[in-house]
Amino acid sequence: MANLGSRARRVALALCAGPALAVLLATATATAVAARPAAEPDRSTPVTDVWMKDVAGDIGLEPHAGTPIWASPDIKVCPTSVECAIGELPVAGTTSHIFVKLRNPGPYGSGTDSGVLRFYRTSPGGGLSWPTDWTPITSRTVTVVPGVTTVAVTWTAVPGPGHFSLLAVWDSPNDPLPFLTSDTPTNVRHNNNIAWRDLVSV
């Protein structure tokens, strides 16, 4: 009888411990996933890699330590729809034109890609937190073949006068942006399809 009682207690404990252990394992797994930092882009499968330079010597590697990252040579603002040789200060309240160079391929993929080039700006004197401090300007659907593709968009109602920032973001299912935080400089360094240009409107 003592053996039977002991065996019954062991069975009862096993039955109780099973669900409890399952709950503990599920909780531990969920905590580990939640604590996991944002991952670098998954390059394990073939993808396209459209990119923009953050600095003159940029070759598209992620992340990079080049500086200043807020002066991308691949973003230019011009007063007319004809690309200017050197970017000019936009005039507040008027229409300017943004020219962006999309480079293909980068170091992480190859092939023609189709996606959307999105443009954002901050308010003059405003913050840089992503995405709360960034206002969409416009976007353009583009097919990017190997080489350099220049995309031009019209920018109405330039803000200011004052100092603010401009972002160009290449958005494509084949070239995703998996590394995004609230910190804009971190995003630019870790995603070669984001470029940043500081501007002053007059």
Q: Mind listing the pLDDT tens digit for each residue in 88-111?
A: 999 999 999 999 999 999 999 999
| CB-count exposure of residue 176 (10 Å: 0-12, 13-18, 19+) | middle
Q: Are 183 and 142 in contact (CB under 8 A)?
A: no
Q: Does pLDDT of 136 surpass 50?
A: yes
Burial state string for 137-158 with b = 16 or more CB within 10 A and e = fewer than 16: beeeebebeeeebebebebeeb
Q: Does pLDDT of 35 surpass 80?
A: no
> What does the pLDDT average to over 25-38?
34
Q: Does pLDDT of 23 surpass 50?
A: no
Q: Are 125 and 182 in contact (CB under 8 A)?
A: no
More confident residue, 5 or 48: 48
Report if pTM > 0.85: no
Grade residue 45 by pLDDT with cuts at 50, 70 and 90.
Answer: low
What's the confidence (pLDDT) of residue 42?
A: 59
Grade residue 165 by pLDDT with cuts at 50, 70 and 90.
Answer: very high
